[in-house]
Structure 1
Amino acid sequence: MKKTAIIPLRKDSKGIPAKNKKKMLGRPLFSWVLAEAIFSNLDNIYVFTDDSEIIDYIDKEYHWTPKVKALLRSDENATDTASTESAMIEFAESIQYDFDILCLLQATSPMTTATDINAVLDKIETEKYDSALTVVNTHRFTWNPDGTPQNYDVFHRPRRQDFEGLLIENGAVYATTKSTFITSKNRLSGNIGLVQMPENSLVEIDSATDWKIVEELLASRLKKTKKHQRIDYLVLDVDGVFTNGQVFYSAEGELAKAFDMRDGMGLEILRQHQVEVVVMTSENSPLVAQRMKKLQIENTFLGVKDKYAFLQQFVKERNTSFSALAYIGDDVNDLTNICSVGWSFAPANATEIVKQNADYLLTKPSAEGAIREACEWIMKYNERY
Structure 2
Amino acid sequence: MIQGKRKIVIISGVSSIDGGSNAALVENILNLKNRFEFLIIVPSEGTLSEELIEKGINFRIVKGELWRHSLNKKESLKHKIKKILVNLVADQKLYKIIKEEKIDLVHINVSATGVGWLAAKSLKRPIIWHLRELNDIDQNYPLDYPKVAAFMFNRSTLVPISNFVYNYYNHFLNNSYRLHLIRDGVKVDELSKIKNLKRTNKEVLTIGFLGGYQPHKGLKTVLESISLLKLQYPTLDISLEVYGSQYQQNINTYKELASQYSIENIVQFHGFSSNLVDTFSSLDVVISASLEAFGRVVAETIVAGRVCLGSDQGATPELINNGKNGFIFKHQNARDLSEQIVKIVENWSDLTEFIKKNRDDEIKRFSSEKTANEIATLYEKLIKGRDKNE
Q: Give the TM-score normalised by structure 1.
A: 0.40
**Which structure has the highest helix share of the two?**
2
**Which structure has the highest strand share of the two?**
1
Q: Give the TM-score normalised by structure 2.
A: 0.39
